[in-house]
Amino acid sequence: MGYMIAAYVISVGSVAAYASYLALERARLRKQLDETGSDPSSS
């Protein structure tokens, strides 16, 4: 049971962590672009 749970926690957790990283990176870049000028895609 422990091995099975570990496999699922690692898989789902890693995908969630990567998706969170992309969301944070996107927000950081949008903020950076907003500070340096108008961002055509923000509308």
Partner 1 sequence: MNVPSAPGRRLTAGLFYTVLAAWAFAVWSAPIDSVQGVIQKILYVHPPLAFGAYLGFFCTALFGGLYLWKGDDRWDRWSLSSAEVGVLLCTLMLLTGPIWAKGTWGKWWSWDTRLTITLLQYLVYLAYLLLRGFTEGSERTARFGAVYAIAGVVLIPLNYFAIEMAAGRAIHPENLGDGSLGAGMGMPFLLGIVVVLSAFAYLVVRRYEVACLRDEAARREVEATGSEGAWAT
Q: Which residues bind partner 1 (CB under 8 A)?
A: 1, 3-4, 6-8, 10-11, 14-15, 18-19, 22-23, 25-26, 29-30, 32-33, 36-37, 39-41
Token output for 4: 């099975």
Q: How far is the CB of 2 from partner 1 (least distance, A)?
A: 9
Closest approach, Cβ 31 to partner 1, in A, equals: 10
Residue 30: other Cβ atoms inside 10 A = 13
Token look-up 């969301």 returns 23
Kindly state the smallest distance separating residue 22's Cβ from partner 1, in Å.
4
Both tokens of residue 32? Answer: 């950076």
User: Is residue 34 within 8 Å of 43, Cβ to Cβ?
Assistant: no
